[in-house]
Amino acid sequence: MDNRSEVREFLMTRRARITPQQAGVETFGDRRRVPGLRREEVARLAGMSVDYYTRLERGNLRGVSDSVLEAISRALLLDQAEHDHLFDLARNANPVGLRPVRAPGDTPVRPQLHYFLDALTTAPAFVQNNRMDLVAANTPGYAMYSPMFTGARRPANFSRHIFLDPGSRDFYPDWDRAAWTNVTILRREVGRNPHDKRLQALIGELSAHSVEFREYWAAHDVRRHYAGQKTFRHPVVGDLELHYQTLELDGDPGLAMTVYLATPGSPTEESLRLLASWAATEAAPQIAAYAAAS
């Protein structure tokens, strides 16, 4: 990915989304030709010259101090994910002595992680890398994501499933939200590892084959994806309303683990029991085959 282009588009899209009212800028009734803030308004809010901010927005973050980045973050009302993304872009604009924050998604899954996953007998859980490949799971996790495993490509990939498999629109009742979330995670990973060739190849593949992906990608949104609630429509057990928690594995660079839990006493809790029963009987051969191939 071209760092200057990434910086330029990110700052421009953040500036365009903020109204003067949100930023506390008085307009005095003047007619505006831009949907958000003007460059001079951002510069004033950040306490810097218009020429200097213009240089930054044109994509040149080389040598920019943390204090300047913090000032821009405040002026553009960046949330934590956007703040971190800006700092990642600045870090990658200064390649001398640069060390990657994370490995490029090739960290092997340690046996201990498999033991941990298998100890979760009722909660679906899985490990993914920073290219959105599902690289390990427990039996309920494989069973829950069984619609992803219809193709022969291994490991299965969440992004390909969402954007290239028409069946994903049945699996995700709120498909638009799932698609947007997936893209925001990929965008964050690109900011962290812009030279990951396989990550670039994935984005190129999705861009070539999905109009929706191209539209979401052009927005330059980023998101932290650590906890919340998701709804799925599983072809065997029906609707599942699940709480999720995602943990980045500090000892395993590039890997993250997600665990899903149902509210005690809810219909989803019973559905998970049915899913576990199906996984242990009818789906067992397919799950074993997938796990062996991953």
Query: Using an 8 Å Cβ cutoff, are 157 and 149 in contact?
Result: no
Q: Which two tokens stand for residue 165?
A: 């498999």
Other beta carbons within 10 angstroms of residue 189's beta carbon come to 24
Per-residue pLDDT of the chain (294 residues; tens, 9 = 90+): 688 999 999 999 999 999 888 888 877 666 777 778 999 999 999 999 999 999 999 999 999 999 999 999 999 999 999 999 999 999 988 765 445 544 455 678 899 999 999 999 889 999 999 999 999 999 999 999 999 987 777 789 999 999 999 999 999 999 999 999 999 999 999 998 888 889 999 999 999 999 999 999 999 999 988 899 999 999 999 999 999 999 988 888 889 999 999 999 999 999 999 998 888 877 667 766 666 666
The CA distance from 232 to 12, in Å, is 35
Other beta carbons within 10 angstroms of residue 255's beta carbon come to 25
Angle in degrees, 0-180, between the axes of helices 39-46 and 66-75, rounded to the nearest 10 = 120
Q: What's the pLDDT score for residue 101?
A: 47
Q: Which structural domains are found in the chain, ordered by start?
A: 3-92 (1.10.260.40), 111-293 (3.30.450.180)
The CA distance from 10 to 103, in Å, is 24
The CA distance from 196 to 201, in Å, is 9
Q: 154 φ, ψ to 5°?
A: -130, 140
- What is the H or E stretch that residue 242 is in? strand 238-248
C-alpha pair distances (Å), 254 with each of 111, 181, 225: 16, 18, 14
